[in-house]
Amino acid sequence: MRIEQRIQQLYKKLLQLGYYPFQVKSIIHFAIGNSDLESATTADKIKVVNILEDYEKLANNFSLAYSK
């Protein structure tokens, strides 16, 4: 899977988990200093994937803890 596809997959997953689009864009901005993934380097994109995966885990854990 290409890194851009993984970012889109994580973006959609976070929206399903309850994040708003502006929140995900803010997370991306925090990770690499801007929200423009088109001009991001490969290293920046990897950083975005890692951070979005962390947020996905956090949201999943939150969902599991409060769905009991």
Domain assignments of the chain as residue spans, ordered by start: 3-66
Q: For residue 63, is pLDDT > 90?
A: no
Residue 68 pLDDT level (bands cut at 50, 70, 90): low
Backbone angles phi, psi at 40, to 5 degrees: -75, 145
Output 8 or 35, whichever has higher pLDDT. Answer: 8
What would the pLDDT profile of 14-52 be if each residue is shown by its tens digit?
999 999 999 999 999 999 998 888 889 999 999 999 999
Rounded to a whole number of angstroms, the CA Rg of the chain reads 12
Residue 33: closest CA among 42, 23, 19, 44: 44
- On whether the CB atoms of residues 35 and 25 are closer than 8 A, the answer is yes
pLDDT, position 23: 96
Residue 67 pLDDT level (bands cut at 50, 70, 90): confident
